[in-house]
């Protein structure tokens, strides 16, 4: 009998749910269906079409950055968000949602200002923060 702990990770590309041995989350697992990276330390892009399935299927917390191309603070925070994603690789999934291109998800979560960070666990919001943050603050929020 296999007693190794496993974590479910949704593929941001094809939507397949993958069971990854928890001890191997930091080893850049790939989707068993399409070969896309699942937890490579980079934020994934989510849309109105794949948001719900992705966050519900994730066995790890998901930190979502709601942003827009025209937003100066969003562009300033982007490298900090990337840095926090790399720091917490295999422990937290980082995702980005362009609010202008994905109004349904943004509206459902009541995004009124950007950048806004949401922390979701099992598809449910557990924390929220608005405004640009440095990588250390993003990592602390995510952890």
Known catalytic residue: 31?
no
Known catalytic residue: 11?
no
Which one-letter DSSP state was computed for residue 23?
A: G
CB atoms within 10 A of CB 100: 13
| Residue in 11, 14, 31, 74 annotated catalytic | 74
The 3-class SS string of 73-130 reads HHHHHHHHHHHHHHHCCCCCEEEEEECCCCHHHHHHCCCCCCCEEEEEECCEEEEEEE
Tell me which residues are annotated as active site. Answer: 71, 74
């Amino acid at each position: 009998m296999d007693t190794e702990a496993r974590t479910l990770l949704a593929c941001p590309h094809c939507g397949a749910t993958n069971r990854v041995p928890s001890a191997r989350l930091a080893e850049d697992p790939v989707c068993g269906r399409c070969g896309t990276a699942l937890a490579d330390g980079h934020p994934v892009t989510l849309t109105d079409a794949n948001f719900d399935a992705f966050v519900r299927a994730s066995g790890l917390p998901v930190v979502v950055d709601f942003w827009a191309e025209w937003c100066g603070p969003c562009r300033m925070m982007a490298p900090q968000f990337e840095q926090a994603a790399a720091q917490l690789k295999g422990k937290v999934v980082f995702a980005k949602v362009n609010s202008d291109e994905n109004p349904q998800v943004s509206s459902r979560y009541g995004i009124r200002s950007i950048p806004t960070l949401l922390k979701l666990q099992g598809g449910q919001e557990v924390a929220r923060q608005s405004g640009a943050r440095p990588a250390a603050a993003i990592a602390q929020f995510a952890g």
